[in-house]
Amino acid sequence: MQLQKGLSLATSVALALGPVPTFASTASPNCTLSVVNNEYTHLLPLPFEGNLTRDFLDGTALENETVATALVNAQKSAFISYHDEFTRLIGSAKLDFIVADAPFPNGEAGIWVPDLHQVWFVTTLYGGPTKLYILFLENSTVIEPQLMATAGYGTHIPLANPAGGYYFNGTVYLALVGTDQEPASLVAVNPRSYVVRPVVNSYFGLELPPVDDVVVTYTNTSRGIEKHLYFSTLDLSAFGLTVGRPAAVLPNAFWMFTPETGALQPVIPRADILTPNGVAVDKDFRHLYVTDTSATASVGGGAMWNVTGSPAIYRYDLSPMDGLVSNKVLFGMTREGVSDGIKVDDKGRVWTAEYEGIVVRNSVGKVIGLFNKEVILGTQTPVAEMANFALAGDSLVLLALDKIVTIKLAEMVVSPDRFTVGWNR
C-alpha cells in the first residue's frame, strides 16, 4: 500500500485496456554503478547536515569538498553500491523500460507467477479505485484479466480495490482494501481460469480493517500439509484515504489464516507494529518480515512525539510446528519515507521500496545498495514513487506509475520452486 507523499494524479484510471504499447529502450545513459565508500554511511567529516526528506547522496550538506563531490557524483548513477555483495549482484545490469507511458498509475503488488511467466500488479489507491493488470514477461504485453466471481458469496467484479498479493502453488492470493459495496477481504484467483474465490472477509462477524498485503507459507504437520496466509490490515483513514466504508472497528494487526483448519487468528498486535503494511517470508519459511509505515517525516521522530511506531522493517521467527509468530527483531530503519513493498530473496537479502528507490539489505540487515529512483525514473513532477516491485528469477521488475522497468541481475535472486509445495522441506 502506497502511503507516501500525496500524489495527485491528474488522469483517472483508464477504463478499458487492450495490450499496452510497449517500448523497449536501449540502455539508459545513466545506467552506471557507483561504489560509495562505506564509511560515509556512518562517519562524515564535520560539519554535515542531512535532511530527512531528501536523499542521502545529494541531500546532505558537507563542507568537505572531497566527500561532498563523491556523494553528489554517485547520485548520478542508477545503481549505488555500499558493499561488494551489491556490486556483484548488479554485474553488468541494464535498465530496460518495457512499458513507458502506461495509461494507469501502476505500483502495487508485484506478484511473480513463474509458471506463466507473468507479473501481476495493481494501480495505486491514490489514482482512484485500483485495478489489476497482468504483465507477460515474454513479450512485455500488459492485459487486464477478465475475472469471474464464484457464485454465492456476493464478491464483486471488478475486485474491491486490490492492494498486495502473492502467488503460491497455482493460486494468486489478493488482499482487497474494500469499497463502499464490499468489506475488505482476501481472495484467491486461479491464474488460468481467472475465477475468484473469497477466502476471508470477517472475524466473527466484524469487518477487517483494509487488507493490504499477503504472503503464504506451509508446514508439514502430522495432520498433513497446512498453508498459512499471513496478511496485514490497517486503518487507511490515518492517511486520509477512504474507500467509502466506516472507520475500522478492529485494531490494526497482522493475521494468520490456515485454510486447512479454518483458523483465522491475529499474530502481531498494533502495539508491536503500529501501521502494518508489507509482509514477506524467506525461502525456508523460517522468518516473517513486516514493514511498519509510521513515517518519521509525518508522525515525528524524537521522544517528544507520542508515537510508538517507527518507519522500519521487523523480522519475526515462524514456528515450524504451527506457523505462530514470535521474537520481534528490528531489522532495518527506513531513512527516507517508509519501507513499503518488501521481498526477501533466496539469500535472505531484504528488498524494500523506499523514497530513495529500492533499498537492498543483506541477510543481517546492512544496507548494501540502492536502485536509485531519481536516475531510473527521472526528476519530473510529481515525483514518481516506487511503492512495490517484483523479483522474478534473475530480474527486478520495477512498478513505477506510468513505467515498468526490468533490470536483469547477475544472479538468480528468487527461484520458482519457492512457490510450490514439496521442494526440499
Q: Which of 29, 47, 246, 302 binds ligand NAG (CB under 6 A)?
A: 29
Neighbours of 24 (CB within 10 A): 11
Q: Is 66 in the site for ligand NAG (CB under 6 A)?
A: yes
Q: Is the dihedral of CA 383, 43, 78, 125 positive or negative?
A: negative
Nearest approach, Cβ of residue 373 and ligand NAG (Å):
10
Q: Which of 271, 305, 410, 411 binds ligand NAG (CB under 6 A)?
A: 305
Q: Is 227 in the site for ligand NAG (CB under 6 A)?
A: yes
Q: Which of 88, 156, 197, 425 binds ligand NAG (CB under 6 A)?
A: 425
Nearest approach, Cβ of residue 400 and ligand NAG (Å):
14
Q: How many residues bind ligand NAG (CB under 6 A)?
A: 31
Q: Is 31 in the site for ligand NAG (CB under 6 A)?
A: no
**Which CA distances in Å does 108 have to 2, 104, 326, 385, 423?**
7, 12, 28, 11, 29
**Which residues lie below 8 Å from residue 41, measured CB to CB, with a gap of 6+?**
56, 82, 367
Q: Is 169 in the site for ligand NAG (CB under 6 A)?
A: yes
Q: Is 215 in the site for ligand NAG (CB under 6 A)?
A: no
Q: Is 258 in the site for ligand NAG (CB under 6 A)?
A: no
Angle, alpha carbons 332-414-170 (nearest 5°)? 115
Closest to ligand NAG by CB, 166 vs 331, is: 166
Nearest approach, Cβ of residue 118 and ligand NAG (Å):
8
Please report, as a single letter, which amino acid is at residue 320: P
- Interface with ligand NAG by CB under 6 A: which range of 91-99, 120-128, 284-292, 298-306? 298-306
Nearest approach, Cβ of residue 235 and ligand NAG (Å):
19
CA distance 169 to 376: 33
Nearest approach, Cβ of residue 28 and ligand NAG (Å):
8
Closest to ligand NAG by CB, 64 vs 242, is: 64
Q: Which of 5, 54, 283, 286 binds ligand NAG (CB under 6 A)?
A: 54
Contacts (CB under 6 A) with ligand NAG, residues 69-98: 76
Q: Is 218 in the site for ligand NAG (CB under 6 A)?
A: yes
Q: Is 298 in the site for ligand NAG (CB under 6 A)?
A: no
State the DSSP H helix or E strand holding residue 59, giving kind and residue range, or none if neither.
helix 56-59
State the DSSP H helix or E strand holding residue 66, giving kind and residue range, or none if neither.
helix 65-74
Contacts (CB under 6 A) with ligand NAG, residues 367-396: 374-375, 378-379
Q: Is 228 in the site for ligand NAG (CB under 6 A)?
A: no
**Which CA distances in Å does 378 have to 20, 123, 263?**
22, 20, 46
Contact 2, 352 (CB under 8 A): no
Q: Which of 38, 87, 141, 190 binds ligand NAG (CB under 6 A)?
A: 141
Nearest approach, Cβ of residue 81 and ligand NAG (Å):
16
Contact 167, 200 (CB under 8 A): no
Q: What are phi and psi of 49, to 5 degrees?
A: -145, 110
| Residue-by-residue DSSP string for 4-36 | -S----SSPPPS---SPP--PPPPPTT--EEEP
Grid coordinates standing for 54?
531528501
Q: Is 306 in the site for ligand NAG (CB under 6 A)?
A: yes
- Interface with ligand NAG by CB under 6 A: which range of 99-107, 134-142, 174-182, 403-411? 134-142
Nearest approach, Cβ of residue 378 and ligand NAG (Å):
6
* DSSP tag of 402: T
**Which residues lie below 8 Å from residue 28, measured CB to CB, with a gap of 6+?**
78, 94, 95, 97, 375, 376
Nearest approach, Cβ of residue 133 and ligand NAG (Å):
13
- Pairing status of strand 162-168 against strand 48-49: unpaired
Nearest approach, Cβ of residue 134 and ligand NAG (Å):
9
Grid coordinates standing for 236?
487507511
Q: Which of 13, 27, 67, 149 binds ligand NAG (CB under 6 A)?
A: 67
**Which residues lie below 8 Å from residue 305, measured CB to CB, with a gap of 6+?**
299
Closest to ligand NAG by CB, 29 vs 47, is: 29
Which single residue is written with the C-alpha cell 531513512?
335
Residues that bind ligand NAG (CB under 6 A): 19, 29-30, 45, 51, 53-54, 64, 66-67, 76, 136, 138-139, 141, 169-170, 218, 220, 225, 227, 304-306, 374-375, 378-379, 421-422, 425
